[in-house]
Structure 1
Amino acid sequence: MGKVFKTVEEIQVDQVRFVDARFDLQDKAAGKQAFENGHAPGAVYFDLEQDLSDMASGNGRHPMPSKEQMASLFEGYGLTYDDTIVVYDQGAAPFAPRAWWMLKYAGFPNVYIVNGGVAALEKAVDFTSEVTSYALSTVYFDWQDQLYAPREAVKAIVDGKVVATLLDARAAARYRGEVEPLDKVAGHIPSAKNFDWEQLKEDGMLHANDALRSKVEKNERVVVYCGSGVTASPLYAVLADEGYDNIQLYVGSFSDWITQYDVETGTNE
């Protein structure tokens, strides 16, 4: 998949389309308010719940939107496959990676994440409160279905019909089933390993480390998940940036899995 993260020095700011994906799970209006207060020139705003999830679906807490919903979003903002798209959030957060993954799933070839988020980007560009309008685009989408793992594909792994590693991006205590603040069942998808995505944070940026590299080999097929497909996104993005090329995101994640199947507790490490 190639390079995912870019530093501000690597971005030609006058030749890209910016996407602002800031969000706060505790204050759901905060991201949009931050965008309205000031954003990168020409940026458009993708809201985690209004744009990057289908909250009317019952398939988890931040369910996968339909292809039609995603097409409407991307074309509505005038994006094309010729664009270089640069996504940012508050930095070392899961929201830009979620937007990045959905754009890659929709086939956009040149999409990157600002490593360091707003704090880094503000050093390179003058933020503005002016909102840019774009003409609708028409995109002949080349959907990258191989990037996505639906529930049935994960069940095939659990049942041993498909060989792949399930990697749970949640905190270890949630993975082991000792606590569960959000979902009605505690534990993890059977056979899954655990790698807390918070371990990727370093000085407001996201980076791979030796602990991650030792967890999964580059030749493995890896399916990442979390509680609702949000915090698994940075884990996916970092693996992709490291050159892992056989990875999938289970967007429904644990909150979708438990609607149909049993879980296990403890650890597989």
Structure 2
Amino acid sequence: MNKVFVELKEVVGGQVRFIDTRFDLARPLAGREMYNLEHIEGAIYWDLEQDLSDMAGEQGRHPMISKEKMTNLVQQAGLSPKDSIVIYDQGGSPFALRAYFLLEWAGYSNVHVLREGFAEAIKVLPVTDVKPIIQHSEVTPEWKDELYVDLEKVQKIVVGQLEGQLIDARSAVRYRGEVEPIDPIAGHIPTAINFDWEQLKNDGQFLANEVLVEKLDGLADKAKPVIAYCGSGVTAAPLYASLKEAGYENVQLYVGSYSDWIRENEVETE
């Protein structure tokens, strides 16, 4: 079982590298503003759109970043594969988990996401408005490309050429094509099943491990690959991480997600 989430009591007093990923999809500058105002002492800031996505790309609304950009990101952050890294956001949000996925893809194994959000963290951890002085590193990521699924692979899964169960992390009404507030076409990727990522959290934090196991057990065959996707690849990250936490061994993420799929492929509704 993969331990993704960590609780405050486990990081207090430890030698931890913090990454602040607070963000607001409606106000893209809000996360940086919150960080500049106050953040956990020593934390660096990674922005969903400036750092964790390639907004100039065409593969969905929050496209996957390149290996070059990810390498540059970890080098500028001075992150070593030996570091104990804890990522946080405002709590119960997908942003820290997007960073978690990218760091895991880059070969970092000692990475966790704070189960509680920033508001709880500042009750026990020192905060500051001072940005840390970071010594850049020359680290070379050891890529885990098996975690990342692109459009071509999803197409093969849909037609049965590759084994895998697609899981749509959006709401049931969006999955069924009854409502679509963002994308121009309503529906879901053929063969996908649905599990709304909102079920994974409560009161600003993600559910405890035993509750995640109960909720996700039996959702799909654990002997087969499971691939999480959503609208733009952001809210799929909590489902990706929670499946790992719940004991699924072969979990992957389609970062392009539905917004990438509908550019040139048919959809299903039900």
TM-score interval (norm. to shorter):
over 0.9
TM-score of the superposed pair, with normalisation by structure 2: 0.96
- Sort the Cα spacing of 1:48 and 1:219 in 2 relative to 1 into closer, same or farther, 3 A: same
Q: Distance in 2 between matches of 1:240 and 1:46?
A: 23
Q: Deviations over 1:49-91 (max 9, x none)?
A: 0000000001100000000001111101111111111000000
Shift of 1:32: 0.7
Contact 1:200–1:209 at 8 Å: present in 2 too?
A: no
Matching residue within 225, 228, 247 for 2:229: 225
Q: Gapped runs of 5+ residues in structure 2?
A: none
Q: How does 1:3-42 map to 2 (within 5 A)?
A: 3-42=3-42
The equivalent residue for 2:201 is 201
1:92 equivalent in alignment to 2:96 = no
1:239 equivalent in alignment to 2:234 = no
Moved more, 27-36 or 5-14: 5-14
Q: Distance in 2 between matches of 1:160 and 1:232?
A: 22
Letter in 1 for 2:129: S
RMSD: 1.2
Contact 1:88–1:118 at 8 Å: present in 2 too?
A: yes
Moved more, 41-50 or 207-216: 207-216
Matching residue within 251, 257, 267 for 2:261: 257
- Sort the Cα spacing of 1:30 and 1:145 in 2 relative to 1 into closer, same or farther, 3 A: same
Contact 2:20–2:39 at 8 Å: present in 1 too?
A: yes
Q: How does 1:52-67 map to 2 (within 5 A)?
A: 52-67=52-67
Aligned residues: 266
Letter in 2 for 1:218: K
Q: Distance in 2 between matches of 1:49 and 1:80?
A: 23
Shift of 1:13: 4.2
Letter in 2 for 1:175: Y
Contact 2:213–2:245 at 8 Å: present in 1 too?
A: no
Contact 2:149–2:252 at 8 Å: present in 1 too?
A: yes
The equivalent residue for 2:155 is 155
Q: Distance in 2 between matches of 1:91 and 1:25?
A: 14
- Sort the Cα spacing of 1:136 and 1:193 in 2 relative to 1 into closer, same or farther, 3 A: same
Q: Distance in 2 between matches of 1:14 and 1:44?
A: 17
1:125 equivalent in alignment to 2:129 = no
Shift of 1:254: 0.3
Letter in 2 for 1:6: V
TM-score of the superposed pair, with normalisation by structure 1: 0.96
The equivalent residue for 2:216 is 212
Q: Deviations over 1:3-36 (max 9, x none)?
A: 1100001114440100000000011111111111
Contact 2:90–2:119 at 8 Å: present in 1 too?
A: yes
Q: Distance in 1 between matches of 2:51 and 2:252?
A: 21
Q: Distance in 2 between matches of 1:12 and 1:67?
A: 33
Moved over 4 A (4+): none
Q: Distance in 1 between matches of 2:200 and 2:213?
A: 7
Contact 1:86–1:114 at 8 Å: present in 2 too?
A: yes
The equivalent residue for 1:172 is 172
Q: Deviations over 1:205-240 (max 9, x none)?
A: 212153422312322310000001000000111111
Letter in 2 for 1:235: L
Q: Gapped runs of 5+ residues in structure 1?
A: none
